[in-house]
Structure formats: C-alpha cells, structure tokens
Amino acid sequence: MTFENSLEFARQLDAQDALKSYRDQFHFPKSMETGEQALYFTGNSLGLQPKSAKEYLQIELDDWAELGVEGHFHGRNPWFHYHKFFTEKAARLVGAQEEEVVLMNNLTVNLHLLMVSFYRPTQSRFKLLIEAGAFPSDQYAVASQARMHGFNADEAVVELVPREGEHTLRTEDILAKIDELGDSLALVMLPGVQYYTGQAFEMETITKKGHEVGAFVGWDLAHAAGNLELKLHDWDVDFAAWCTYKYLNSGPGSVSGAFVHIKHSELTDIPRFEGWWGNNEEERFKMEKGFVPMKGAQAWQLSNAPVFNMAIQKASLELFDEAGMPALRAKSDLLTAYMEFLINSLKDENGDPRFLIITPSDPKQRGAQLSILSLQYGKDLFDYITKKGVIADWRNPNVVRVAPVPMYNSFEDVYRFVEILGSYKQ
C-alpha cells in the first residue's frame, strides 16, 4: 500500500477497517494533562478495560453475595472449574491444544513453576540462555533458579548481545550461540517479543535449534500473547507463560497463562511443585495423600482460581475469539507500518531523520510496538507529548515505546500522535 501523510488518508483507512467496531467496546482514559480523551499507546504495558468487564465481574460478585460458598458449585459459572470456561479460547489464542493451557497465578510465579520442571541442570549441562537487557523479572528469575541449584549465576546465565552498533539480535547469532553452548545448555528462555526493542523472535526456528543440542526451550510471552499469531503446539515449544493485563486487557496484575506441551504430560519423572488444584479433580475433596496429576498443563496448578481476575479475562477473550488473531495481526501490520511511515517522514532542517525506530522494520520481526530512539532530545520530548494528551511509555536513556493496538487504536490515533511528536521543538 502507498501511504499518504494526511488526516484524510488516515480516516480513509479507518473507514475501511473491518475491525473498527471493537474500538467502541473499550473505555479510553482521559489525559491527566488535557482532560480530553487520551491518545492511548500503552497497551503493551496495560491494555484498556473492555466495557463488558464490569458485567462479567458483577455476575461473580452477585453470585458471591447470593450464594456464598455454594457459588463454587451452583453459581452461574461455578468457581470450582472456572478456568475451564475460557481454556478453549486461550488455547486457540496461542496455538495450543486445550489440555496444554491453563490460566493461573501471575507471570513470574508461572515462570518459576515451569522452570522447576524444565531447568534441570547437571554439572555439565547447566547453562541458561536469555537476551541481554531482558525484563528485570526474567533476569532475577533465571539467576535465582541457577543459584537454587548451586551454580554461580554469572557463569550459568548466558546473555545474547546484539552486534556492535545494532539494537536487536540476529537470528543467525542466536542459533550460533546455541550451537556454541551445545551440551552445556540446559534451557533457552527468551521473550516472544522483547519488551524494550519490540523485536519478535523466530520462535519455531530457535525452539528447533535448542532441541537439537538437547536443551529445553521456553518462552516468556508477556508481549506476544494477544499480539502475535502463535503456534506453540506446532512449534514444539516445551513451555511458555504470559500475562493477561497487556494486550489481553484483563486489568492490572491479573491472572497469567501457562502452556506445557502435551508430550510432557505423560512423563512420570518430571519434577514439579504440587498443590491441590493440580490434583485429579475427581479425587480433590477426598483430602487424601498421594498426588494424582490432572492431565496436561492443569497439573501445574497450585490453588483455586482467582475468579474476579479471571472474569475480566473471560470478557476479553470473548472479543479476541470473535475478532480472530489473523484479522488482528493484519490490521496490526498496517497500523504499525503507517506509524513507521509517518515517523520516518519527520526530518530536521538538514533533512536528516529526527528519530530512529529501533524495532525491526520487517513486519515478521515485530508486533504492535515501535520503540523510537530520540536522536536529538531527552525526556523533555516525552514530557511534551504527555502534556499534549499522549499516554505512551519512556525507557531510559532515550526511548519512547508506543503500541498501536489493533483491537482499539485507529489510524487517526496514529496520525495525531505523530503530528504531536513532530511538533516538538527544543
């Protein structure tokens, strides 16, 4: 498509958007600076509230009020197996079989629980591979797992670093590092989308290479679930976890998703922390010794469902299942490409670019995020766009992260954001 830098063209794209009605199904906050509806581009940090969330949550509050403990079995959505009401949709979202997915806990809790099972170091095979500059929670998690097994984290944790002068990792360099580590590599754990640069990794290729050297491969999908088209089962991923409060719009600190490939469900020697909600539900209330695991990912559950959080995720997943990830990805590619085109058109008096987008330009290597490196300005730029009604995200030393989310952002949003960005003067 040939883009045009005009409000009229942006509105033309919105008129042609088959998903435009979903925008009206979300609440947009007002800017604290202008008092007007904000230009919201932080769905990669906290997604907007679905208007249906209140209704879904109210059902559970009403059943609690009217039924008390009986809501576990006699509520409109019995809480005893509440997670099952949307497991099918969650599985479809990440390209999994239904038995491979469960929603439980929070993201880092799930990563730790899964690493108990899939980081199984020996004296010769003990290294964990992550990317340099990983989200701090992932850094802390892998380092603490290494220490728990008696290893020096500085020796066990290997970080992938971009080539000099580059901002993102090349797939061939990731594969080469896996080959180099070889039979010393116990676990590859990378993000589906890197939070800072917005780079999407070639998950299938990397997973295959990790398996070739005998390592397990897991993925942190915090910035990928609800953003990319995923095929976790077909890609033979060992495990994955994701939060639901970013692109999946289920509210701050909400429940996390977990995936365990079905091939691992029948293994009897797999180490796992166990709790009563992972025990066979037919025997759960016998209160007897002897853990009999649920089939698939449900065996990793520890406790009963956080119903109120899950109610909002249930509301959001209804929208995702209705819209479909292929359609959302198609719109996302177009939204992000349009934003890229507009930002690249911003030049200084010498005709040089005012900003550098460090997110890969190849749509296959990014999701609904552009990380904009401010070549000439500091945080004053971010403060300026905030005062103009933009809700975006600043990362030191000089990156503005923006996420044009296909579920609710418009092409006009994108145009107006770049117009504000370009109007900044020091």
Element (H, E) at 50: strand 49-50
Read off the pLDDT of each residue in 139-143 and give the average, rounded to a whole number: 97
Read off the pLDDT of each residue in 18-30 and give the average, rounded to a whole number: 98
* Rounded-to-5 percentages of helix, strand, coil across the chain: 45, 15, 40
* Mean pLDDT taken over the chain: 96
Read off the pLDDT of each residue in 212-229 and give the average, rounded to a whole number: 98
Strands (E), 244-396: 256-260, 355-357, 370-374, 390-391, 393-395
Q: What are the Cα distances from residue 21, in Å, to 83, 94, 227, 410?
A: 28, 24, 19, 11
Q: What is d(CA 338, CA 332) in angstroms, rounded to the nearest whole number?
A: 10
Name the band, by pLDDT with cuts 50, 70 and 90, for residue 87: very high
Q: Which CATH superfamily is domain 7-44+324-422 in?
A: Aspartate Aminotransferase, domain 1 (3.90.1150.10)
Place of tokens 């904000």: 38
pLDDT(423) > 90? yes
Residue 25 confidence (pLDDT):
98
Percent of the chain with pLDDT over 90: 89
Token pair listed for 337: 């490409």
Name the band, by pLDDT with cuts 50, 70 and 90, for residue 282: confident
Q: Residue 417 CB: number of other CB atoms within 10 A? A: 24
Instruction: Sketch the domain layout of the chain as residue ranges.
Output: 7-44+324-422, 57-322
Please report, to the nearest 10 degrees, the dihedral formed by the alpha carbons of residues 309, 311, 312, 315 taken in order: 160
Name the band, by pLDDT with cuts 50, 70 and 90, for residue 426: confident
Short-list 418, 411, 414, 322, CA closest to 17: 411
Q: What is d(CA 127, CA 142) in angstroms, rounded to the nearest whole number?
A: 10
- Out of 137-146, 258-267, 312-321, least confident range: 258-267
Name the band, by pLDDT with cuts 50, 70 and 90, for residue 376: confident
Read off the pLDDT of each residue in 94-105 and give the average, rounded to a whole number: 97
Order the strands of the 355-357 sheet from edge to edge: 355-357, 370-374, 399-402, 393-395
The tens digit of pLDDT for each residue in 285-342 reads 888 888 989 999 999 999 999 999 999 999 999 999 999 999 999 999 999 999 999 9
Shared fold status for 7-44+324-422 and 57-322: no
Q: What are the Cα distances from residue 219, in Å, to 22, 39, 230, 284, 302?
A: 29, 31, 11, 31, 21
Strands (E), 174-282: 185-191, 216-220, 239-243, 256-260
Token pair listed for 110: 């799930």
Is the domain covering 57-322 a CATH 3.40.50.1460 domain? no
Read off the pLDDT of each residue in 159-174 and give the average, rounded to a whole number: 97
pLDDT(170) > 90? yes
Q: What is d(CA 249, CA 284) in angstroms, rounded to the nearest whole number?
A: 32
Residue 268 confidence (pLDDT):
76
Residue 281 confidence (pLDDT):
87
